[in-house]
Amino acid sequence: MVTSRTHAITLIPGDGIGPEVSAAVVRIVEAAGAATEVGFEWHRFAAGAEAFERFGEYIPQALYRSIEENKVALKGPVTTPVGGGFSSINVTLRQKFELFANFRPVKNLPGLKTRYPGIDLVIVRENTEDLYAGLEHEIVPGVVQSLKIITEKASTRIAEFAFAYARKHGRKKIHAIHKANIMKLSDGLFLRCCRGVAVTYPEVTYAEHIVDNTCMQLVMNPYQYDILLTENLYGDILSDLCSAFVGGLGLVPGANLGTECAIFEAVHGSAPDIAGKDLANPTALLQSAVLMLHHIQEKETAERIQAALEKVYEDGKVLTKDVGGTSGTTAFGDAVIAAMESV
Ligand code: ATP
């Protein structure tokens, strides 16, 4: 293959459906790269339970080093055990590399019928603190405490990210999502920071909605929203809710962005119920890879994949079960690669 440049990418296939969707995505990205003369060197690492079994560490030191060197990673889902076990690999990586912005665009794919056509909204979620700081302890048996950390620094930084994104991409409206009526100090601080940034972007309409009302408003009329600016926990929950507007968790991509490094991963988890059955939809991870390609300035390769993906959905012949089709992960990947020939 003739390549004019090659990118080293850290790849964490993950567990559950992770290896299947990652394999499909790598094949598609390789095919698009071959057509656009861009090469990829995939540096593969296990993380979580698999890494612990093999190397005695949940996140191998070599994985940290690889992300530090490559600056860019594509990551499949990694299971975090409920209750006991190890802390979330996702949360640990986001904190370690200060990937403070979790960016999740929610947009319909053409041809795919959903309850709400024409959705185009973005969730910007603070990614390093809140109840996900992982600071929990047992005070006495039967009483535990989980600390919600909200800082001026992180809140201002994520608000600045959201408003700068809105300005750059001509987005009109930002809603800060909160529960400051109850959590007056923590969510109150978050809102004060958002307001402080909002006044410096007069062209972007700023509003505030309480999180429970937001859930209702989203289901009643999602079109009223453009960018949802949230703390960590609210953003996690709203992401799953919003994914349902466009066809479910199999579709929505995500980017974890910091000043130095970026990790691209789907919104969904490891979906153990369908793992190993060639049933998973690789679209969410594929669209995450498209975000990654834009991030590394490979616009042509990114657009080639997106166009092929949209063609497959428009044709509607080779789709996975979660979106009403009968095809498997592998066949879907093949269809996207075949569609590239005609875009
Ligand atoms: P986590 O808390 O780890 O983020 P989650 O609550 O988002 O996980 P998932 O593991 O993503 O939950 O799965 C929820 C359900 O959505 C699964 O049971 C599965 O049926 C479906 N699902 C998730 N991802 C996909 C996918 N890529 N393709 C098809 N179905 C999926």
> Ligand 1 atom 27: the closest Cα is on which residue?
250
**CATH number assigned to the domain comprising residue 185:** 3.40.718.10
Dist. CA 341 → ligand 1 center (Å): 31
- In terms of phi and psi (left: phi > 0; alpha: psi -120 to 50; beta: otherwise), the region of 324 is left
Task: Give the pLDDT of residue 85.
Answer: 66
Residues 130 and 232 sit within 8 Å (Cβ to Cβ): yes
What average pLDDT does the structure give for the chain?
95
Together in a domain, 73 and 194: no
Together in a domain, 206 and 277: no
> Ligand 1 atom 5: the closest Cα is on which residue?
269
Together in a domain, 105 and 119: no
Together in a domain, 232 and 320: no
Atom in ligand 1 nearest the alpha carbon of residue 271: 10
Domain boundary among 188, 221, 246: 246
In whole angstroms, give the CA distance from residue 267 to residue 284.
7
Together in a domain, 258 and 109: yes
At 168-200, the pLDDT tens digits run 999 999 999 999 999 999 999 999 999 999 999
Task: Give the pLDDT of residue 54.
Answer: 86
Dist. CA 204 → ligand 1 center (Å): 34
At 52-61, the pLDDT tens digits run 888 888 899 9
**Kind of pairing between the strands at 120-126 and 101-107:** antiparallel
Confidence of residue 81 (pLDDT cuts 50, 70, 90): confident
In whole angstroms, give the CA distance from residue 242 to residue 115.
11
Atom in ligand 1 nearest the alpha carbon of residue 17: 27
Confidence of residue 1 (pLDDT cuts 50, 70, 90): low
Together in a domain, 216 and 296: no
Tokens of 251: 């579709």
Dist. CA 77 → ligand 1 center (Å): 9
In whole angstroms, give the CA distance from residue 191 to residue 188.
5
Together in a domain, 134 and 59: no
Task: Give the pLDDT of residue 82.
Answer: 75
Confidence of residue 310 (pLDDT cuts 50, 70, 90): very high
Domain boundary among 246, 273, 296: 246
Q: Is the dihedral of CA 315, 30, 66, 80 positive or negative?
A: positive
Helix and strand tally (H, E) in the chain? 11, 12
User: Ligand 1: residues whose CB is within 6 Å?
Assistant: 17, 21, 240, 249-250, 268-271, 273-274, 280-281, 284, 322
Best of 82, 109, 268 to mutate for ligand 1, by most ligand atoms within 8 A of CB? Answer: 268
Domain boundary among 246, 275, 301: 246
At 209-230, the pLDDT tens digits run 999 999 999 999 999 999 999 9
The total number of structural domains that make up the chain: 2
Question: In terms of residues, how long is the chain?
Answer: 343
Tokens of 102: 């979790």
In whole angstroms, give the CA distance from residue 206 to residue 176.
8
Together in a domain, 225 and 127: yes
In whole angstroms, give the CA distance from residue 22 to residue 11.
8
Q: Over range 236-247, report the average pLDDT.
A: 95
Together in a domain, 152 and 37: no
Dist. CA 272 → ligand 1 center (Å): 8
User: What's the pTM value of the predicted model, to 2 decimals?
Assistant: 0.94
Dist. CA 3 → ligand 1 center (Å): 36
Name the residue range of residue 314's domain: 1-114+248-343
Best of 237, 249, 326, 329 to mutate for ligand 1, by most ligand atoms within 8 A of CB? Answer: 249
At 82-125, the pLDDT tens digits run 776 667 888 889 989 999 999 999 999 999 999 899 999 999 99
Together in a domain, 226 and 133: yes
Task: Give the pLDDT of residue 190.
Answer: 98
Together in a domain, 218 and 123: yes
At 315-332, the pLDDT tens digits run 999 999 999 999 999 999
> Ligand 1 atom 12: the closest Cα is on which residue?
269
Dist. CA 208 → ligand 1 center (Å): 29
Res. 249: pLDDT tops 90: yes
Task: Give the pLDDT of residue 201.
Answer: 98
Tokens of 2: 């003739």
Give whichever of 53-62, 77-86, 150-159 has the largest mean pLDDT: 150-159
CA 205 to chain centre: 25
Together in a domain, 127 and 239: yes
